[in-house]
């Protein structure tokens, strides 16, 4: 069928390419002409493994096209809303400006029966309001139906998560919308992917609730790391013990610098803001502390780095290995490592950053930081090396070889990637979150 995808950022571009790869004719719409130009050439404007291949195949095969003109979506039977819902300035609430603008632009085109499907992460209650707005203003009136189909993409694994998700959630008002979404996702449904049919409100809560639970887990393990460090225990051994408990499991039990990116931080804060609006502020205070613990990890790393430098970062040469908020991505939104780098720079340190994928984004977003083309270049004459993103490349660094590059053999492991015995045997002073200097 003909499907439109409104918004071609990280979510929209991936969704459009994956839908086209399953046989649909897809039109991606976005106001950014540079982004549309790149996508029309079959190139993603961000790093995501496997996506460029799908884009090229879709564009070259004629089943995937992109446009800045929303009129190109006119004949689509299903319209996906994939625009961003960032955090409002000065508040934790979600900013729905782009979503509402997309709905306003799309509504006049809806002159026949169709399905509008929200995928953006929104405060609960948004879908019900937008559904009434669409049916009141669209030329086709009540023949326009709205559904909510949240995304659960992991950056670095988004293509696989789109083609073979672990679940599909359909927030629908009737059987026709459910049937149509099952046709859209026919390949995944045939492959046995579980489908959860529910109401609009529950579907809206699905993504933000998942992120709130993941954020809580990450902050809790970082609290345990802080206690381990204070008590002289080893958080790596502790999390290994916890992970063997079937009730807990081992996923997202990695202590370190904390979470970042464009989803977990802002979704957790938006959940709290909406909970407060709904009158459950007292219970939502738990998630405020989750966010505070996560932010405190960044402060802990800064303070630990300064301590390793003898109490002052002034004129110190600091190498920061890792800028993306997580390995497998070039996304630097709310990056914990860049937060640490900027804080140390503000204290007078000379910062050099290396990341396998995110260098160009660092240069655009943090132009005062110096980027390097390799680990060795970033660490040349360094007084301190910080390992802050969990790239496998950093796990494999040879501490003996790197010792000849730096001025002082000091390393802070913010992701528990390094083998302490191996590094200390090479003469390094090593500090690791949750392990201290042991």
| pLDDT tens column, 47-92 | 999 999 999 999 999 999 999 999 999 999 999 999 999 999 888 8
**435 — pLDDT class (breaks 50, 70, 90):** confident
The residue annotated as part of the active site, out of 18, 82, 114, 263, is 263
Convert the chain into a string of H (helix), E (strand) and C (coil).
Answer: CEEEEECCCHHHHHHHHHHHHCCCEEEEECCCHHHHHHHHCCCCCCCCCCHHHHHHHHHHHCCEEEECCHHHHCCCCEEEECCCCCECCCCCCECCHHHHHHHHHHHHHCCCCEEEEECCCCCCCHHHHHHHHHHHHCCCHHHEEEEECCCCCCCCCHHHHHHCCCCEEEECCCHHHHHHHHHHCHHHHHCCCCEEEECHHHHHHHHHHHHHHHHHHHHHHHHHHHHHHHHCCCHHHHHHHHHCCCCCCCCCCCCCCCCCCCCHHHHHHHHHHHHHHCCCHHHHHHHHHHHHHHHHHHHHHHHHHHHHCCCCCCCCEEEEECCCCCCCCCCCCCCHHHHHHHHHHHCCCEEEEECCCCHHHHHHHCCCCEECCCHHHHHCCCCEEEECCCCHHHHCCCHHHHHCCCCCCEEEECCCCCCHHHHHHCCCEEEECCCECC
| Percent of the chain whose predicted confidence (pLDDT) is above 90 | 94
CATH code of the region 2-198: 3.40.50.720
Judge if 2-198 and 208-292 fold alike in CATH terms: no
Q: What pLDDT score was predicted for residue 283?
A: 86
Mean pLDDT across 382-393: 97
Q: Which pLDDT belongs to residue 45?
A: 93
Mean per-residue pLDDT, 163-191: 97
Asked about 63 being catalytic, the answer comes back as: no
* Stretch 409-413: mean pLDDT: 97
Say if residue 239's pLDDT is above 80.
Answer: yes
pLDDT, position 252: 85
Average pLDDT over residues 204-217: 95
How does residue 251 score in pLDDT terms, banded at 50, 70 and 90? Answer: confident
> Which pTM was predicted?
0.91
- Per-residue confidence at 438, pLDDT binned at 50, 70, 90? low
Q: In the predicted model, is pLDDT for residue 436 greater than 80?
A: no
Interval 256-269 mean pLDDT: 92
pLDDT in tens, 291-338: 999 999 999 999 999 999 999 999 999 999 999 999 999 999 999 999
**pLDDT over 80 at 145, yes or no:** yes
**pLDDT of 108 higher than 80:** yes
Instruction: Write down the CATH number for the domain with range 208-292.
Output: 1.10.1040.10
- Whether 428 shows a pLDDT value over 80: the answer reads yes
Q: Mean pLDDT of all residues in the chain? A: 95
Mean pLDDT of 82-104: 93
Domain ranges of the chain: 2-198, 208-292, 297-432
CATH 3.50.50.60 applies to domain 297-432: no
């Amino acid at each position: 069928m003909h499907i439109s995808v409104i918004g071609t950022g990280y979510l929209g571009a991936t969704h459009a390419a994956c839908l086209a790869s399953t046989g649909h004719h897809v039109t991606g719409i976005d106001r950014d002409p540079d982004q549309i130009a790149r996508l029309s050439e079959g190139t993603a404007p961000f790093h995501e493994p496997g996506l460029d291949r799908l884009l090229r195949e879709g564009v070259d095969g004629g089943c995937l096209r992109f446009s800045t003109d929303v009129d190109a979506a006119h004949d689509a039977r299903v319209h996906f809303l994939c625009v961003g819902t960032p955090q409002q300035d000065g508040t934790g609430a979600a900013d729905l400006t782009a979503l509402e603008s997309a709905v306003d632009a799309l509504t006049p085109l809806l002159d026949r029966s169709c399905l509008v499907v929200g995928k953006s992460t929104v405060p609960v209650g948004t879908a019900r309001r937008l559904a009434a707005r669409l049916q009141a203003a669209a030329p086709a009136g009540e023949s326009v139906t709205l559904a909510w189909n949240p995304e659960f993409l992991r950056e670095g694994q988004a293509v696989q998560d789109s083609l073979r998700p672990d679940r599909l959630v359909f927030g629908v008002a009737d059987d026709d919308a459910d049937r149509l979404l099952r046709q859209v996702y026919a390949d995944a449904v045939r492959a046995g992917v579980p489908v959860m049919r529910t109401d609009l409100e529950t579907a809206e809560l699905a993504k933000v609730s998942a992120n709130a639970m993941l954020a809580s887990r990450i902050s809790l393990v970082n609290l345990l790391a802080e206690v381990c460090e204070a008590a002289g225990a080893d958080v790596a051994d502790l999390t290994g013990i916890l992970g063997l408990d079937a009730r807990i499991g081992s996923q997202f039990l990695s202590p370190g610098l904390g979470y970042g990116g464009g989803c977990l931080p802002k979704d957790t804060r938006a959940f709290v803001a909406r909970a407060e609006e709904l009158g459950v502020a007292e219970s939502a205070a738990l998630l405020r502390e989750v966010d505070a613990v996560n932010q405190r990890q960044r402060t802990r790393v800064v303070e630990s780095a300064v301590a390793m430098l003898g109490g002052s970062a002034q004129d110190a040469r600091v190498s920061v290995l890792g800028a993306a908020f997580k390995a497998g991505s070039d996304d630097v939104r709310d990056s914990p490592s860049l937060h640490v780098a900027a804080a140390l720079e503000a204290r007078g340190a000379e910062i050099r950053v290396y990341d396998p994928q995110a260098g160009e984004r660092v240069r655009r977003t943090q132009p005062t930081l110096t980027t390097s083309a390799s680990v060795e270049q970033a660490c040349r004459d360094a007084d301190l090396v910080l390992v802050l993103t969990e790239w496998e490349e950093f796990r494999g660094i040879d501490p003996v070889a790197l010792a000849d590059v730096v001025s002082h053999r000091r390393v802070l492991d913010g992701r528990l990637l390094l083998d302490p015995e191996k590094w200390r045997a090479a003469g390094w002073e090593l500090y690791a979150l949750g392990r201290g200097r042991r």
